[in-house]
Amino acid sequence: MAKGNGVAIICGSAPCLQEEFEEVRSKRPDAIVIGINEAIWKIYCDILMTYHIELISKFIEKSVNKNIEVHTSKSYPDHVLKYKDVVDCVWEGIKGGASSAIDAVQICLKMKFQEIILVGCPMNGGDGYFHSDKAPENVEGCPRFGNKGNEFLVNKHQRRLIEMAQEIDFNNVFSMSGFTSKILGIPRL
């Protein structure tokens, strides 16, 4: 299992992913790279963090790293049992409601990373994805953050991030762009 010391780069799936990743990676070459959902299709990641465990096989099928570790914050007993063969680590006590990126941030905080940088995670909503303008809804019908027309979901997640910033110590958490950079700040590169 990847160790949580040093720097974690969390990769989302927004169109800005590649450019932001390259900029951060050039300054933090030893960082552990964590992909959220489809980000592992574009970037070689050490860890996949996903709430959508019903899609793990689909994510890994196109992953650049076929031996990627899989972590989730979806700890419902029936899900854990059903997907125990494909999940390496299940994290408890993750506060939801502010997107998969912020779930991944909380996991990285539990792993004791000293610096956490979000790339491809502007959390503006409706930006599309690096691989398409629209992503399919997941099996459980959960709307996808980057798809247009999800203003209610976007506002809900943004409000939740603002609340969480009052509850959780995000002092060593940064973002390269968008709404998340306004709340978390931009890293010194």
Q: What is the pLDDT of residue 4?
A: 67
Query: pLDDT (tens digit, 9 = 90+) per residue, 7-40?
Result: 999 999 999 999 999 999 999 999 999 999 999 9
Residue 69's H or E segment, with its range, is strand 69-72
Domain boundaries, the chain: 7-184
Separation between Cα atoms, residue 97 and residue 38, nearest integer Å: 19
What would the pLDDT profile of 112-160 be if each residue is shown by its tens digit? 999 999 999 999 876 767 765 555 555 455 556 655 566 777 888 899 9
Q: Collapsing DSSP states into helix, strand and coil, what is residue 144?
A: coil
CA distance 145 to 99: 8
Buried b (16+ CB within 10 A) or exposed e, 106-132: bbbbebebebbbbbbbbbbbebebbee
pLDDT at 73: 85
Question: At a CB cut-off of 8 Å and minimum separation 6, what does 14 contact?
Answer: 120, 121, 122, 127, 128, 129, 130, 146, 178
Average pLDDT, the chain: 87
